[in-house]
Amino acid sequence: MHGATARFVVFVTSVASVGGFLFGYDTAVINGANTFLHAAMQLSPAQQGLASSSVIIGCIPGALFAGYLSDRFGRRTTLFVCAALYIVSAILSAVPRELGEFLVARFLGGFGIGASSMVCPVYIAEIAPEKQRGRLGTLFQLGIVLGIFLSLFVNKIIQGFGDESWNTDIGWRWMMAAAAVPAIAFFALLLFIPESPRWLAQHRRQAEALAVFRRAIGSDQAATELASVQSHASGDDASWAELLKRPFRRPVALAVTLMAFTQFCGINAVIYYSSKIFQTAGDSTDAAFTSTVWIGLINLVFTFVAISLVDSMGRRPLLIVGAAVQTAALGVIGWMFATHSSGPVLLGAVLVFIAAFAMSLGPVGWLFCSEVVPSRIRARAMSAASFTVWVSCFIVTQTFPMLNDNPAIGPAKTFWLYAAISGAALLFAALWIPETKGRSLEEIEQMWIGETTAGDPAP
């Protein structure tokens, strides 16, 4: 990329990644608020799990409907809907009088998160040049971890404004309301980005698609790229049933399975409940909040590692290395709880787990799913993958407090379960995930069509 072209692509993909930022901020903000929300509303462990997972309940229909919305009305229009939901949710989450009102507010935000988790990676993949698609695609995950980190940092600042009584009455409300600021900024920035060129071509708006391609990859390559897209475009929207047909079912199965692994490894048990985890291990409230900020910082730093490696090292090697390190780190966390240990070793093991996820399953999962599925079904397939993420995330978020607080299971066996799942993810990546770096989206699509022509190969 050169000059104006590079600046344009970086700008539009960065704006789309703000959707990832809000995804991270809105999902992680509950981490700092849940202890005080629990005290303010006298929640049981199951209610506390529901308060944390209510946003995930909204994500599930959001992810499902986003495929239809983005196919019918466009990627950019769907992002505007997401931004509006983020704004409304942040305001309403700060003023509830009882748990039911809080759950409704978080559900609305979850709908926006679920939709943006589908449409943001698709938008970036459809506009990014193939040689930079890995780095630009991981900007979405960078947005997520920036949002997580900033929410943890802001929560700690707000928590320091007063004592525990003040935070129980007021502090957690300011934590929830702060999300409205970046949401308003996202809505404003969307005014300055174009529609996805591949969506425009799919809907026979070739002149507009060509204009966007010229800005994204240059005038010399724009016509060739448009012709390639048109050769794979059908002109009508896909149905859900087509996801199960050849040649689509194998890439869809890979995408859905990989995204399930990204959640069942326990990442959001740590992101949402890190304060509770460290308090369970014996740390004070202030020390638990400080450890949580370290988690956000490591998450951020190692996402940059992924950005630097994903287009050179490739998607598959990053997945294999990351899953292996995750498995070991989670095993150590379980051992620390089994031996009733705390302190630097526990924090170090948690940070190693976060680092491994941030450089592998976190960014590569979203990137791989956005590029591995063919153009005709991309929106619906990403909806299926995002739906899988949020159903899995809901299960983990809802069950962690109950597993962690159950005397027969406890934190040790809970983290050993997550370690076993990470080990399964390692085998899955090593045996079934293909490499997609350096290929255009149309070349990846042709790979599946070629396999279908030759007959479905063994995994």
Q: For 114-161, what is each residue's pLDDT tens digit?
A: 999 999 999 999 998 888 888 888 899 899 888 888 887 888 889 888
Assigned domain for 219 exists: no
Q: What is the pLDDT of residue 377?
A: 86
Query: pLDDT tier at 48 (50, 70, 90 boundaries)?
Result: confident
Round to whole Å and give the CA distance between 66 and 89: 18
Q: State the sign of the Cα–Cα–Cα–Cα dihedral 359, 362, 367, 368.
A: positive
Task: Say whether pLDDT at 453 is over 60.
Answer: no
- Sequence-distant (≥ 6) Cβ neighbours of residue 365 within 8 angstroms: 258, 259, 261, 262
Assigned domain for 146 exists: yes
Assigned domain for 103 exists: yes
Round to whole Å and give the CA distance between 269 and 266: 5
Query: pLDDT tier at 456 (50, 70, 90 boundaries)?
Result: very low
Round to whole Å and give the CA distance between 390 and 260: 9
Task: Say whether pLDDT at 359 is over 60.
Answer: yes
Assigned domain for 211 exists: no
Count of domains observed in the chain:
1
Task: Say whether pLDDT at 395 is over 70.
Answer: yes
DSSP structure string for 70-134: HHHH-HHHHHHHHHHHHHHHHHHHTS-SSHHHHHHHHHHHHHHHHHHHHHHHHHHHHHS-GGGHH
- The percentage of residues in the chain with a pLDDT greater than 70, rounded to a whole number, is 92
Query: pLDDT tier at 81 (50, 70, 90 boundaries)?
Result: very high
Average pLDDT rounded to a whole number, residues 78-106? 93
Name the phi and psi angles at 184, rounded to 5.
-65, -40
Amino acid sitting at position 137: G
Assigned domain for 225 exists: no
Q: What is the pLDDT of residue 220?
A: 82
**Full-model pTM:** 0.80
Which structural domain, as residue segments, surrounds residue 377? 3-193+238-454
Assigned domain for 336 exists: yes
Assigned domain for 80 exists: yes
How many other C-beta atoms lie within 10 A of the C-beta of residue 221? Answer: 15
Assigned domain for 213 exists: no
Query: pLDDT tier at 202 (50, 70, 90 boundaries)?
Result: confident
Q: What is the CATH number of the domain that holds 123?
A: 1.20.1250.20
Round to whole Å and give the CA distance between 226 and 440: 12
Query: pLDDT tier at 1 (50, 70, 90 boundaries)?
Result: low
From the CA atom positions of the chain, what is the Rg in Å? 21
Q: For 362-393, what is each residue's pLDDT tens digit?
A: 999 989 998 898 877 888 898 999 999 989 98
